[in-house]
Amino acid sequence: MDRAYKEVQQITLAVDCIIFGFNNNQLEVLLIHRGFEPEKERWSLMGGFVGNREDLDAAAHRILHDLSGLEDVYMEQVRTFGKADRDPYERVVSTTYSALILKEQYKAELIAQYRARWFSIDDLPNLIFDHKQMIVSALNRLRRRVRTVPIVFNLLPKKFTLPQLQLLYEGILGEELDKRNFRKKLNTMDFLVKLDEKDMSGSRKGAYYYQFDENKYNRTMNFNI
């Protein structure tokens, strides 16, 4: 605990982002193809170092913004990876953040610039260092969280249909859900608003659009899928 100890500390602090999106009815992660050393030409999470006067959370948002062009994205800290040899080149401790984004809003030119690509969570490429573990822990956390906190709506447009929402849950949880039970549950917790408009793109009959109503949710704060 004495100062001398700390003064010689040579550890770099980084942030890595696990960026989730919902595409092709699958939960996907955005990875970058590294155009720089070390580990050039391999896949990795989007990461970066923390600024000296920058909040850790702010660093995560900055890094996400660099890749996506997005601000005000929903992010949560997951955990910190601190094995001494996790990065074989230098001592870096990295805190992971999980982000939920809407694919349509990405700046395609940035994605291209970083040579980024979406990967289905059950078809990941080889990743550098411990990035695979980072994704696994973020996914586990996400699976727990989506059942009790209304965060999935960050992965959908403002207006979405119930079949869409159900597919999203199935993609995240990795299991099929019963349509009737799913809808019944959503009905009992009353935070979805049915619009008069239908999405005709997926079927002949068309599916009604819904919206998440934050105020309604805040009245009860009860959420349990």
Q: Rounded to an integer, what distance in angstroms lies between the CA atom of residue 164 and that of residue 180?
A: 14
Among 79, 141, 143, 185, binds DNA (CB under 7 A): 185
The partner in contact with residue 207, picked from DNA, a copy of itself, none with C-beta cut-offs of 5 to 8 angstroms by kind, is: DNA
Q: How far is CA 209 from the centre of its chain?
A: 24
- In the bound state with a copy of itself, the residue whose beta carbon lies nearer, of 8 and 108, is 8
Q: Does 162 bind DNA (CB under 7 A)?
A: yes
Crossing angle, helix 179-188 and helix 162-173, to 10 degrees?
A: 110
Max Cα–Cα distance, the chain, nearest Å: 72
Q: Does 201 bind DNA (CB under 7 A)?
A: no
Q: Does 205 bind DNA (CB under 7 A)?
A: yes
- In the bound state with DNA, the residue whose beta carbon lies nearer, of 200 and 221, is 200
Q: Rounded to an integer, what distance in angstroms lies between the CA atom of residue 128 and that of residue 5?
A: 31
Extract the tokens encoding 108. Answer: 């395609």
DSSP SS3 for 107: coil
Minimum Å gap between C-beta 145 and DNA is: 16
For the chain, the C-alpha Rg in angstroms (whole number) is 20
Q: Does 203 bind DNA (CB under 7 A)?
A: yes
Cβ-contact 105, 70 below 8 angstroms:
yes
DSSP SS3 for 99: strand
Minimum Å gap between C-beta 4 and DNA is: 52
Q: Which residues bind a copy of itself (CB under 8 A)?
A: 1-2, 5-6, 8-13, 36, 47-59, 77, 79-84, 91, 93, 95
- Which residues touch 183 (CB under 8 Å, ≥6 apart)? 162
Where does this chain touch DNA (CB under 7 A) — which range of 42-50, 70-78, 149-157, 175-183? 175-183
Size of interface with DNA, in residues (CB under 7 A): 20
Minimum Å gap between C-beta 145 and a copy of itself is: 12
Q: Does 125 bind DNA (CB under 7 A)?
A: no
The partner in contact with residue 69, picked from a copy of itself, DNA, none with C-beta cut-offs of 5 to 8 angstroms by kind, is: none
Nearest CA among 137, 61, 50 for reference residue 99: 61
Q: Does 183 bind DNA (CB under 7 A)?
A: yes
Q: How far is CA 67 from the centre of its chain?
A: 13
Q: Does 180 bind DNA (CB under 7 A)?
A: yes
> What is the contact surface with DNA in residues (CB under 7 A)?
161-163, 178-181, 183-185, 198, 200, 202-208, 224
